[in-house]
Amino acid sequence: MFQIHIVDRSNQCDYQVHLEQHFRLRHKIYVDERGWHDLARPDGREVDEFDTEDATYLLAIAPGEGVVAGSRLLPSLKPHLMSEVFPQLAPSGVPKADDIYEWTRIFVVSALREPGYPCVAAGAVYCGIIEYCLRYRISHLSIVCETYWFDRLARLGWNPRSLGPSLVHREETIIGLIVDMSPAALETTRRAYAIDGSVLWWKSISESEGEEAVQLRAETCNG
Protein backbone atom coordinates (compact mmCIF):
# COMPACT_ATOMS: atom_id res chain seq x y z
CA MET A 1 0.00 0.00 0.00
CA PHE A 2 1.12 3.57 -0.60
CA GLN A 3 1.03 6.72 1.47
CA ILE A 4 0.34 10.30 0.46
CA HIS A 5 3.44 12.51 0.43
CA ILE A 6 3.17 16.27 0.84
CA VAL A 7 5.41 18.15 -1.57
CA ASP A 8 5.68 21.93 -1.30
CA ARG A 9 8.26 24.68 -1.69
CA SER A 10 10.09 23.49 1.42
CA ASN A 11 10.96 20.03 0.13
CA GLN A 12 10.61 19.95 -3.67
CA CYS A 13 14.32 19.23 -4.03
CA ASP A 14 13.73 15.91 -2.24
CA TYR A 15 11.03 14.92 -4.73
CA GLN A 16 12.35 16.00 -8.13
CA VAL A 17 12.02 12.52 -9.65
CA HIS A 18 8.50 12.07 -8.30
CA LEU A 19 7.39 15.53 -9.40
CA GLU A 20 8.65 14.82 -12.91
CA GLN A 21 6.77 11.52 -12.95
CA HIS A 22 3.66 13.30 -11.68
CA PHE A 23 3.76 15.92 -14.47
CA ARG A 24 4.15 13.18 -17.09
CA LEU A 25 1.27 11.19 -15.61
CA ARG A 26 -0.89 14.30 -15.70
CA HIS A 27 -0.10 14.67 -19.42
CA LYS A 28 -0.92 11.04 -20.10
CA ILE A 29 -4.22 11.18 -18.24
CA TYR A 30 -5.50 14.66 -19.07
CA VAL A 31 -4.17 14.98 -22.62
CA ASP A 32 -3.91 11.41 -23.95
CA GLU A 33 -6.84 9.81 -22.09
CA ARG A 34 -9.26 12.70 -21.56
CA GLY A 35 -8.46 14.54 -24.76
CA TRP A 36 -7.62 17.94 -23.28
CA HIS A 37 -5.40 18.62 -26.27
CA ASP A 38 -5.01 22.33 -25.52
CA LEU A 39 -2.79 21.22 -22.61
CA ALA A 40 -0.51 19.12 -24.85
CA ARG A 41 3.21 19.85 -24.70
CA PRO A 42 5.96 18.36 -26.86
CA ASP A 43 7.95 17.37 -23.75
CA GLY A 44 5.06 15.19 -22.49
CA ARG A 45 4.70 17.14 -19.22
CA GLU A 46 1.36 18.68 -18.25
CA VAL A 47 2.42 21.89 -16.50
CA ASP A 48 0.30 25.04 -16.31
CA GLU A 49 0.68 28.58 -14.99
CA PHE A 50 -0.41 27.47 -11.53
CA ASP A 51 2.41 24.99 -10.98
CA THR A 52 4.34 27.58 -9.00
CA GLU A 53 6.20 27.62 -5.69
CA ASP A 54 2.83 28.29 -4.04
CA ALA A 55 1.47 24.90 -5.10
CA THR A 56 1.27 21.97 -2.72
CA TYR A 57 1.18 18.51 -4.29
CA LEU A 58 -0.21 15.45 -2.54
CA LEU A 59 1.40 12.45 -4.24
CA ALA A 60 0.57 8.81 -3.65
CA ILE A 61 3.92 7.03 -3.90
CA ALA A 62 4.01 3.23 -4.01
CA PRO A 63 7.25 1.44 -3.06
CA GLY A 64 9.02 0.25 -6.19
CA GLU A 65 6.49 1.95 -8.49
CA GLY A 66 6.66 5.65 -7.82
CA VAL A 67 3.73 8.00 -8.20
CA VAL A 68 0.37 6.28 -8.72
CA ALA A 69 -2.04 9.11 -7.87
CA GLY A 70 -1.94 12.74 -6.94
CA SER A 71 -3.52 16.15 -6.67
CA ARG A 72 -2.73 19.84 -6.22
CA LEU A 73 -3.75 22.54 -3.75
CA LEU A 74 -3.30 26.29 -4.25
CA PRO A 75 -3.88 29.16 -1.79
CA SER A 76 -6.92 31.18 -2.82
CA LEU A 77 -5.13 34.45 -2.05
CA LYS A 78 -2.70 33.71 -4.90
CA PRO A 79 -3.63 33.31 -8.61
CA HIS A 80 -5.47 30.04 -9.19
CA LEU A 81 -7.70 28.38 -11.78
CA MET A 82 -11.01 29.81 -10.60
CA SER A 83 -9.73 33.34 -10.02
CA GLU A 84 -7.79 33.66 -13.28
CA VAL A 85 -9.60 31.42 -15.79
CA PHE A 86 -13.13 30.73 -14.54
CA PRO A 87 -14.28 33.67 -12.36
CA GLN A 88 -17.64 33.46 -14.16
CA LEU A 89 -18.35 30.28 -12.19
CA ALA A 90 -18.57 32.42 -9.05
CA PRO A 91 -20.53 35.55 -10.09
CA SER A 92 -20.87 36.70 -6.48
CA GLY A 93 -17.10 36.57 -6.07
CA VAL A 94 -14.38 33.94 -6.10
CA PRO A 95 -13.90 32.68 -2.51
CA LYS A 96 -10.61 34.04 -1.14
CA ALA A 97 -9.27 33.80 2.41
CA ASP A 98 -6.28 32.49 4.35
CA ASP A 99 -8.21 29.32 5.18
CA ILE A 100 -9.52 28.65 1.66
CA TYR A 101 -7.46 26.73 -0.92
CA GLU A 102 -8.30 25.55 -4.42
CA TRP A 103 -8.19 21.84 -5.29
CA THR A 104 -7.22 20.81 -8.82
CA ARG A 105 -5.61 18.11 -10.96
CA ILE A 106 -6.55 14.88 -9.20
CA PHE A 107 -5.50 11.72 -11.06
CA VAL A 108 -5.09 7.97 -10.54
CA VAL A 109 -3.11 5.69 -12.86
CA SER A 110 -5.31 3.42 -14.98
CA ALA A 111 -3.97 0.22 -13.37
CA LEU A 112 -5.59 1.18 -10.05
CA ARG A 113 -9.01 2.06 -11.44
CA GLU A 114 -11.78 -0.53 -11.33
CA PRO A 115 -14.91 0.60 -13.20
CA GLY A 116 -17.98 0.02 -11.07
CA TYR A 117 -16.02 -0.18 -7.81
CA PRO A 118 -14.75 2.48 -5.39
CA CYS A 119 -11.22 3.50 -6.31
CA VAL A 120 -9.19 3.06 -3.13
CA ALA A 121 -6.31 5.09 -4.57
CA ALA A 122 -8.64 8.04 -5.16
CA GLY A 123 -10.08 7.56 -1.68
CA ALA A 124 -6.60 7.74 -0.18
CA VAL A 125 -5.97 11.02 -2.00
CA TYR A 126 -9.30 12.40 -0.76
CA CYS A 127 -8.42 11.43 2.81
CA GLY A 128 -4.94 12.90 2.45
CA ILE A 129 -6.40 16.19 1.28
CA ILE A 130 -8.72 16.43 4.28
CA GLU A 131 -5.96 15.42 6.71
CA TYR A 132 -3.67 18.07 5.27
CA CYS A 133 -6.37 20.74 5.47
CA LEU A 134 -7.25 19.88 9.06
CA ARG A 135 -3.60 19.99 10.07
CA TYR A 136 -3.05 23.41 8.49
CA ARG A 137 -6.43 24.91 9.44
CA ILE A 138 -7.75 25.08 5.89
CA SER A 139 -11.51 25.16 6.38
CA HIS A 140 -12.74 25.11 2.78
CA LEU A 141 -11.69 24.13 -0.72
CA SER A 142 -12.91 25.74 -3.93
CA ILE A 143 -13.12 23.48 -6.98
CA VAL A 144 -13.64 23.83 -10.73
CA CYS A 145 -15.07 20.48 -11.77
CA GLU A 146 -17.56 18.54 -13.84
CA THR A 147 -21.11 18.60 -12.48
CA TYR A 148 -21.05 14.94 -11.39
CA TRP A 149 -18.60 15.86 -8.63
CA PHE A 150 -21.37 17.57 -6.69
CA ASP A 151 -23.15 14.29 -5.88
CA ARG A 152 -19.87 12.42 -5.35
CA LEU A 153 -18.63 14.92 -2.79
CA ALA A 154 -22.02 15.15 -1.11
CA ARG A 155 -21.95 11.38 -0.53
CA LEU A 156 -18.51 11.77 1.06
CA GLY A 157 -19.82 14.38 3.50
CA TRP A 158 -17.93 17.34 2.04
CA ASN A 159 -21.11 19.51 1.95
CA PRO A 160 -20.62 20.95 -1.57
CA ARG A 161 -22.28 24.25 -2.48
CA SER A 162 -22.49 25.63 -5.99
CA LEU A 163 -20.97 29.07 -6.48
CA GLY A 164 -23.00 29.90 -9.58
CA PRO A 165 -24.29 28.63 -12.91
CA SER A 166 -22.56 25.91 -14.88
CA LEU A 167 -20.92 26.34 -18.28
CA VAL A 168 -19.75 24.10 -21.11
CA HIS A 169 -15.99 23.77 -21.48
CA ARG A 170 -14.19 21.15 -23.63
CA GLU A 171 -17.62 19.63 -24.36
CA GLU A 172 -18.13 19.02 -20.63
CA THR A 173 -20.40 20.86 -18.21
CA ILE A 174 -18.42 22.34 -15.35
CA ILE A 175 -19.31 24.20 -12.16
CA GLY A 176 -17.61 26.01 -9.33
CA LEU A 177 -17.99 24.50 -5.87
CA ILE A 178 -16.91 25.19 -2.34
CA VAL A 179 -16.68 22.31 0.13
CA ASP A 180 -16.02 21.88 3.84
CA MET A 181 -12.88 20.33 5.27
CA SER A 182 -14.00 18.85 8.58
CA PRO A 183 -13.37 15.88 10.89
CA ALA A 184 -16.83 14.60 9.94
CA ALA A 185 -15.90 14.68 6.24
CA LEU A 186 -12.71 12.76 6.97
CA GLU A 187 -14.61 10.08 8.89
CA THR A 188 -17.23 9.70 6.15
CA THR A 189 -14.56 9.50 3.44
CA ARG A 190 -12.56 6.90 5.35
CA ARG A 191 -15.67 4.75 5.78
CA ALA A 192 -16.55 5.03 2.10
CA TYR A 193 -13.17 3.60 1.07
CA ALA A 194 -12.54 1.31 4.07
CA ILE A 195 -9.45 3.32 5.03
CA ASP A 196 -8.27 2.93 8.61
CA GLY A 197 -6.06 5.65 10.03
CA SER A 198 -3.89 8.34 8.51
CA VAL A 199 -2.70 8.07 4.91
CA LEU A 200 -0.16 10.89 5.11
CA TRP A 201 3.59 10.42 5.20
CA TRP A 202 5.18 13.47 6.78
CA LYS A 203 8.63 14.52 5.71
CA SER A 204 8.23 18.17 4.93
CA ILE A 205 8.36 20.16 8.14
CA SER A 206 8.62 18.87 11.71
CA GLU A 207 6.25 20.11 14.39
CA SER A 208 9.03 22.20 15.95
CA GLU A 209 10.00 24.05 12.78
CA GLY A 210 8.46 27.41 11.98
CA GLU A 211 8.27 29.73 8.98
CA GLU A 212 11.97 30.62 9.14
CA ALA A 213 12.87 26.95 8.82
CA VAL A 214 10.41 26.59 5.94
CA GLN A 215 12.02 29.52 4.15
CA LEU A 216 15.53 28.18 4.73
CA ARG A 217 14.60 24.78 3.32
CA ALA A 218 12.90 26.44 0.35
CA GLU A 219 16.00 28.54 -0.37
CA THR A 220 18.15 25.41 -0.15
CA CYS A 221 15.86 23.57 -2.59
CA ASN A 222 15.91 26.48 -5.01
CA GLY A 223 19.68 26.75 -4.93
Question: pTM for the complete prediction?
Answer: 0.89
Cα Rg of the chain, angstroms: 17
| pLDDT confidence of residue 206 | 42
Q: Tell me: pLDDT of 216 over 60.
A: no
3-class SS of residue 4: strand
**Is 194 buried (19+), middle (13-18) or exposed (0-12) by CB count in 10 A?**
exposed
Q: pLDDT tens digit string along 136-146?
A: 999 999 999 99
pLDDT band at 208 (very low <50, low <70, confident <90, very high): very low
- Its CATH architecture, for the domain 3-207, is 3-Layer(aba) Sandwich (3.40)
Domain chopping of the chain, boundaries: 3-207
